[in-house]
Each structure stands twice: as structure tokens, then as C-alpha cells.
DNA sequence: CGGCAAACGGACGGGGTGCTCCACTTAAGC
DNA sequence: GCTTAAGTGGAGCACCCCGTCCGTTTGCCG
């Protein structure tokens, strides 16, 4: 059971770090996870460092930019999101899969204030992060296609309407607290009902052009 | 026709100001109107002063708090909003009145980035501002009642859902530009369709408790 | 044990914002 | 005109945030 103690116990981004450095790295990630969840993505770096019990320099040495920290923190949340969509695709009922996927994604957004922002931000340098997101988007589009084919989702629904919904929920959730959860649930319920097929009203405006539907991270 | 030139030409908050002071006051209000519309309610005070061509001290002497400036700037926009609701009540078709009211309010929000924030913020000291808003809310509730009575608006719609919608549109509109307008229109179309009667789905979550549906201005 | 490089953390300069103080300017009444 | 007080604008202070520099500490290896 007892492996060689001298080899770094885990490989990854912190493969050949000194023991204390690796320890601090973990503490930073934990602190950042908490901070992003409760205070949003633009929490001061110093607050993260303080919560982690390290100096600011240590934080910046390990994660030169806020982006790199965000990518690292939300990597697994993103894969969790992707697997949620996968699970929804496994549902034999396309419409139920569609609705539960949306509801669960919104639940994630509600549980972690930074999640939606991280999800809607593009990090051109973080290739595997982008790959995971692209995968999730592709699977969601498939979910949409299936739900339309089954005749339960209106034909003029656009996969990009997911970010519309996420942004809308975000607007309802900015002032955290008791009301945020209820507001989010009610808004999602409203939107899901209008996503359902059977609406004859023309839904006038087409979705916005996509080239920047996720703002390029530099825009704040 | 020619009145006494020595009496201040307009009565109001700037009744007995010196001529130059009154002039500057107008310039400040104009600059603030522009700034709030394009950059939102939390534009730096210095930016407003610069745009108005006055010093910061002048701005602060005339409007001791940002709130007082906001109240003054959005007073007429608020009455315009209220009269929009009044017009909607005059429409013989309750449902059309309801939808056009919502669409026009959202158009105002789109045209002025600070409008929604001002509308959803409460200013306990500005009594007439609050009166106007209360009036608008009462009239909107009447609009809702009529639309329900006509059988076109779902029975479980709550007047407070208007702020839900405003916040949602706000979330979609934060990154201004081309896409914001289209996103807003599409979101409003979605929501209006789910507001329409005929939805049998239970709309699970009740609206959030109202005591603070408009955050008390001190919370930012 | 001893030395070295990695790691650390606080201090620091730079930029931005809110709000105030104060010496100067100017409109307004006699 | 001249006095006077209202009015003005910019300097200044306090605070917050970012990102870096540098003197000190400490893990690791021989």
C-alpha cells in the first residue's frame, strides 16, 4: 500500500512542486472555490489569499492570472455540467432529458455564484477547458435536436437560448439570499413552459449573432 | 407676457439659486442623464462632473448623494413609465394593454441602462418619487387583474413577476451592444408567451417574498 | 548537518474612486 | 462701483484593488 514517499503523490499541474508549495496550492484552490461560489468571479485576489492563509505573492506565483485560477477551479464543475448533459441524453424521454438538464444547470448556477460566469466566459488558452465546454455544447445541441424531433420542444428554439436563460437567471440571482433561489426557480419554470411546443406566436426576434455569445474574458 | 425678471424663472428644487448655479445644475442633470443611460447607475461621479464641465465639489454641493442625483434624473422617466401603464389601461383589449405595457417598459430599459436599476431601487426619502412608483405599481396590478379577468393572463401570474422580468432582462442586457437588444426582445417574447393563459403546468415556485423585492439602495 | 534554490509574505508603486476642504471667483443687491 | 456671500474647482485624503519586488524562511538533497 505504501508507495515511494519521495515521488510527488499526484501528477498534474503541481507535479514537481515542493511539499509546502503543493500544500499551499491546494489551500489556494479551496479558498478560491469558496470565494468564487459565494462572492462571484471578481472577488479580490487578496481576499482569496487571505482566506487561504498565504501571501498575495504566493497566489500570483502559482496562478499568474485570475483566469488561470478560474480555469483550475471550475474545471471539474464544467465536467460535472457536461456529464449532466450526458445523463440527460441517456434519458429515454427527450423532453424530460431537456428540462432536467436545464434545471440542473440552473441549480449549479444557484449553488455557485461564479459558475455561470465561468461557463459563459471563453478562455482561449485553456484548451482542455474549452474542449470540455465544446463537448457539452455539442451534446446539448443534440439534446435540443432530439427534443424537437419528439415534438415537445418548439422548432424555433435555438441552442444559444441556453445562454439567454443563463444570463436571465444570473440577472435574477445577483442579489443573493432567500429570494434568489425562488426567483430563479420561477423564472426557469416560466421559460421552460414557453420553450414547450404548441406556441403559435412567431417569437419575433432571432437569437443574437453568436460570434461573441460568450464574452472573451477580457471584457471586464 | 414679460414677467418680473428678478424672480427665478422656474420654481422647483432650484428655486432660489444664483443664475450660474442654476445653469450648472441643469448641465449636471444633462450629463448625469447621458452617463446613467450609457454606463449604468454606478458611473463615477467624477465622470459626470467632467462631462458637465464642472468640478466635483459643485456636483456634490448640488447633489450630496448619488441617490439624490438619480432621483432627480429619473423622476420624469418614472412618470413616463407610469403614464405608459395608464395608456395600457386605456386599451380596450386588456391582454394587448398588458403586453404592450411590458414591451414598452422593456424598451425603456433597453434605451437607458440605468432605468431598470433606478426603477427597482427604493429611495425612502424621495417621497414623491416613491409615490409615483407606487402609483405605477398599483396601475400595473390593475392591468394584471383585468388581463386575468379577460382570461388571457394566467391566473397564477403575480404582479411582482414584473420585477422578475426586469431583472432577467437586466441580466441579458449587461453587456451592451448589438446583441443586447435582440436578446432582450427574444427573452421578453418567450416570457410573454408563458404568461399567457392556457398553461396547465403548475408553475411550482411562488414569487419571492416582497419586503425587499427592490433592494434598499444601500445594498451596493 | 549544512548549503542552496525554491518558496514565502509583506511592503510597495500605480491606478481608480468617493468625498471634503479651502483659497479664489463672481453674481447680485445697495 | 463695491461689498458680500454664494458659488466654484481642483488639490488632497482615505480607501480599495492589482501586480511586482525583495529580503527572509524553509524544504530537500548531498
Q: Is the pLDDT of residue A123 over 50?
A: yes
Q: What is the mean pLDDT of residues A191-207?
A: 81
Q: Give the pLDDT confidence score for residue A178 in this predicted structure.
A: 81
* Cα dihedral across residues A100, A104, A105, A107: positive or negative: positive
Please indicate whether, in this complex, the C-beta atoms of A167 and B183 are within 8 angstroms of each other: yes
Task: Kindly tell me the burial class for residue A166, based on how many C-beta atoms sit within 10 Å of its own C-beta (0-12, 13-18, 19 or more).
Answer: buried
Strands (E), B73-210: none
Q: Could you tell me which residues come within 8 angstroms of residue A55 by beta carbon, excluding any fewer than 6 positions away?
A: A49
Q: Is the pLDDT of residue B152 over 80?
A: yes
pLDDT more than 90, % of chain A? 79
Q: Give the pLDDT confidence score for residue B199 in this predicted structure.
A: 86
pLDDT tens, A76-107?
999 999 999 999 999 999 999 999 999 999 99
Dihedral pair phi/psi, residue B153, rounded to 5°: -105, 135
Q: Is the pLDDT of residue A8 over 80?
A: no
pLDDT tens, A127-186?
999 999 999 999 999 999 999 999 999 999 999 999 999 999 999 998 877 889 999 999
Please indicate whether, in this complex, the C-beta atoms of B172 and A172 are within 8 angstroms of each other: no
User: Of residues A136 and B12, which shows the higher confidence score?
Assistant: A136
Q: What is the mean pLDDT of residues A17-44?
A: 97
Q: Give the pLDDT confidence score for residue B204 in this predicted structure.
A: 60
pLDDT tens, A175-190?
877 889 999 999 999 9
Please indicate whether, in this complex, the C-beta atoms of B215 and A175 are within 8 angstroms of each other: yes
Q: Give the pLDDT confidence score for residue B214 in this predicted structure.
A: 46
What nucleotide is nearest A48 when CA is compared to C1'?
D17
Please indicate whether, in this complex, the C-beta atoms of B183 and A207 are within 8 angstroms of each other: yes
Partner residues linked to A196 by β-bridges: A153
User: Comparing A201-215, B47-61, B123-137, which segment has the lowest mean pLDDT?
Assistant: A201-215
Q: What is the mean pLDDT of residues B160-167?
A: 95
Dist CA B189 CA A203 (whole Å): 6
Q: Give the pLDDT confidence score for residue B66 in this predicted structure.
A: 97
What is the value of pTM for the model shown? 0.90
Q: Give the pLDDT confidence score for residue B9 in this predicted structure.
A: 53
The answer to whether B172 and A172 have CB atoms below 8 angstroms apart is: no
Q: What is the mean pLDDT of residues B178-199?
A: 93
Q: Is the pLDDT of residue B215 over 80?
A: no
A12: confidence class by pLDDT, cuts 50, 70, 90: low
Question: Would you state the torsion angle of the CA atoms of residues B199, B205, B207, B212, taken in this order, to the nearest 10 degrees?
Answer: -160
Q: Give the pLDDT confidence score for residue B96 in this predicted structure.
A: 98
Dist CA B120 CA B143 (whole Å): 19
Q: What is the mean pLDDT of residues A13-18?
A: 80
Q: Could you tell me which residues come within 8 angstroms of residue A113 by beta carbon, excluding any fewer than 6 positions away?
A: A36, A37, A38, A39, A40, A173, A176
pLDDT, mean over chain B: 89
Dist CA A135 CA A86 (whole Å): 10
A–B interface: beta-carbon pairs under 8 A: 112
Please indicate whether, in this complex, the C-beta atoms of A207 and B161 are within 8 angstroms of each other: no
Q: Is the pLDDT of residue B195 over 80?
A: yes
A40: confidence class by pLDDT, cuts 50, 70, 90: very high
User: Of residues A2 and A20, which shows the higher confidence score?
Assistant: A20
pLDDT tens, B54-100?
999 999 999 999 999 999 999 999 999 999 999 999 999 999 999 99
pLDDT more than 70, % of chain B? 86
Q: What is the mean pLDDT of residues B167-185?
A: 90
Q: Is the pLDDT of residue A1 over 50?
A: no
Q: Give the pLDDT confidence score for residue A201 in this predicted structure.
A: 81
- Tell me the CA distances in angstroms from B15 to A48, B167, B180, B219, one per residue in order: 51, 37, 40, 32
A204: confidence class by pLDDT, cuts 50, 70, 90: low
Nine cell digits for residue A161: 437560448
The residue of A162, A167, A196, A219 whose CB has the most chain B CBs within 10 angstroms, and thus the best one to mutate to test that interface, is A167
Which residue's entry shows cell 519521495?
A6
B14: confidence class by pLDDT, cuts 50, 70, 90: confident
Dist CA B138 CA B132 (whole Å): 10
* Cα dihedral across residues B25, B30, B36, B39: positive or negative: negative
Task: Give the CA A20 to C1' D26 distance in Å.
Answer: 9
A216: helix, strand or coil:
coil
Under an 8 Å CB criterion, which residues of B touch A? Answer: 161, 164, 167-172, 174-175, 178-180, 182-183, 185-187, 189-191, 193-195, 199, 201, 203-209, 212-213, 215, 219
Q: Is the pLDDT of residue A110 over 60?
A: yes
Task: Give the CA A4 to C1' D30 distance in Å.
Answer: 19
User: Of residues B82 and A1, which shows the higher confidence score?
Assistant: B82
Task: Give the CA B75 to C1' C22 distance in Å.
Answer: 34
Amino acid at each position: 500500500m505504501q508507495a515511494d514517499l519521495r515521488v510527488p503523490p499526484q501528477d498534474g499541474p503541481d507535479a514537481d512542486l515542493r511539499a509546502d508549495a503543493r500544500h499551499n496550492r491546494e489551500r489556494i484552490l479551496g479558498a478560491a472555490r469558496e470565494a468564487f461560489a459565494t462572492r462571484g468571479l471578481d472577488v479580490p485576489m487578496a481576499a482569496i489569499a487571505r482566506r487561504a492563509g498565504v501571501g498575495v505573492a504566493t497566489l500570483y506565483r502559482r496562478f499568474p492570472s485570475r483566469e488561470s485560477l478560474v480555469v483550475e477551479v471550475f474545471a471539474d464543475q464544467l465536467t460535472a455540467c457536461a456529464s449532466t448533459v450526458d445523463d440527460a441524453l441517456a434519458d429515454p424521454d427527450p423532453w424530460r432529458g431537456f428540462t432536467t438538464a436545464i434545471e440542473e444547470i440552473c441549480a449549479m448556477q444557484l449553488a455557485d455564484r461564479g459558475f455561470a460566469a465561468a461557463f459563459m466566459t471563453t478562455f482561449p488558452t485553456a484548451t482542455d477547458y474549452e474542449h470540455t465546454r465544446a463537448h457539452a455544447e455539442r451534446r446539448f445541441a443534440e439534446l435540443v435536436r432530439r427534443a424537437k424531433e419528439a415534438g415537445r420542444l418548439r422548432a424555433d428554439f435555438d441552442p444559444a437560448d441556453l445562454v439567454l436563460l443563463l444570463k436571465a437567471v444570473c440577472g435574477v440571482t445577483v442579489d443573493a439570499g432567500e429570494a434568489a433561489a425562488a426567483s430563479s426557480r420561477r423564472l426557469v419554470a416560466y421559460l421552460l413552459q414557453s420553450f414547450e411546443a404548441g406556441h403559435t406566436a412567431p417569437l419575433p426576434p432571432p437569437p443574437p449573432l453568436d460570434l461573441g455569445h460568450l464574452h472573451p474574458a477580457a471584457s471586464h
